[in-house]
Amino acid sequence: MKHLYHIAIIIILLGALPGCFSVTRVETDLYTITERDTTIRQDVRNAPGERDNGTIYPSPRSVQIDREYTQRDSTVERFYPAFLRFGGIETAGFLAPGASTDGGGNGLFGLYRLLNGKSKADTKTFTSYMYRIMPYELPLRAFNDAPDWTVGTAAFERFVYPRDNSASIEADEQLTGVFPLYVRKRFFLRDKPPYVMVVPFLGVAIAPSQYVNFGATFDVGSYGGFNLRAYAGYIAGSNLIPRDEDGNSPNVSFPYFGLGVSALDFVNRNEELVTEWKDHDHSAIEVSALNVDLIYSNNLSGDSAVSAALGDSTRGFPTGAMVKLASANFPLPFGDGRFFVGTTLFNLYWLSKSEVTFGFLPIRAGYRFSILGDDLNLEPFAEYTYYPGSAFQLGARASLKIYDWSQLEVVAGYISGSPGLDVVTGYEDLRGLGDFSTIYLGVGIGLGDIFHSFEEVNRK
């Protein structure tokens, strides 16, 4: 599936770029610890010989005082967040005035463009779109250190404004920025998670496109790294490459209005920058960047997907894979928080060559058994993927923590689904796939997978 290259590129960026941005600020205190010990010893020596009762004799007494001093150095490290915003993936679909309404739309949040697809049903709305990779914001030390001002950037962002219904995007229909510069001001309407705020912004980029972008967003989040946003803005600029036949740079300018979603996108207030990580409150019992499981499906109507890719028609393990990008589980207010609901930005079920479906923002519910603290867990769950493909799944996952941010997992369950090709275009290479139902078993790994205890989530 060539469209999955977009997801692969995003995964590579998410894995390679965090080192470019500071996530944790470390403060080190150096102490000299001095221990003083004083020992006093007293000895009383009576004179030898007999004594008459009632006669008082002087008692020779000796006192020995020993003092010892010990000094040693001590180092104490404290860890604080170093960012006001640190994000993963942000996408949005825009109602762009004057843009083409003949071609397919990009979905409510512009998510279809992550896979280079278009909605067949959404033909007159959300024709323009934006996606941004790894936004990052720091406090802006200006205006007498006024609070809630931020300065930030992103590893990559693209705004697309199609003027015709062709499949390809021309140079005069897009603006792309690498490490653009943004200044934002936050106005909090709710100062506890999930935050609610209005955020005016002004941004500029110099490469590979030159543009100015200004407007405002209405943000709700961050909750387990997920955010919802409403956008209103105007962007204008030109593309340096490619130039037209006369050597001029294509100009692009348009207003935009729309809705967006972001995942692995975490927001702090200024006050939280001086609160140690260990004392931070959490809203999710699990946040995961990527989960990949190799799957064996017992309902093989075609060759193994992995074997077919290698030119081998034999059937065996694995027959396919499951991929989840950017997931979060949230505790429900009963059952000691062990019941949870959750979602995932993108799900891919490629169980075999003929059993494929995918979708965005599925609904998941389950229960977590903590077998060995937070290191070994068992989670029975039910999950429903509804768009563009559909799938209903009943299963269980056992996970074993092997490092701070990674785990091994075993999954098993039943899934019934449909590829949903009747509502999305751009996936002609999947033509011929139909509905499927199968039992599966798999093993895999979770990367960037962080578990929080119920006490960390439920503390006030």
Residue 3 pLDDT class (50, 70, 90 cuts): low
On average, the pLDDT of the chain sits at 80
Looking at residue 190, its pLDDT comes to 92
Domain boundaries, the chain: 81-274, 281-458
Mean pLDDT of 220-236: 93
CA–chain centroid gap for 70, Å, is: 48
Instruction: Return the bridge partners of 152, or none.
Output: 137, 182
The structure tokens listed for 157 are 């962002």
The structure tokens listed for 436 are 């499927």
What is the reported pTM?
0.79
- Is the confidence at residue 125, as pLDDT, over 80? no
- Is the confidence at residue 408, as pLDDT, over 80? yes
Long-range contacts of 362-365 (CB under 8 A, 24+ apart): 362/386, 362/391, 364/329, 365/339, 365/340, 365/341
Q: Do the domains at 81-274 and 281-458 have one common CATH topology?
A: yes
In this structure, what DSSP letter does residue 388 have? B
- pLDDT tens, residue by residue, 170-217: 666 889 999 999 999 999 999 888 899 999 999 999 988 999 999 999
Q: Which CATH architecture has domain 81-274?
A: Beta Barrel (2.40)
Range 377-394 burial, b when 16+ CB lie within 10 A, else e: bebebebebebbbbbebe
Instruction: Identify the CATH assignment for 281-458 out of 3.40.960, 2.40.160, 2.40.50, 1.10.10.
Output: 2.40.160
Residue 242 pLDDT class (50, 70, 90 cuts): low
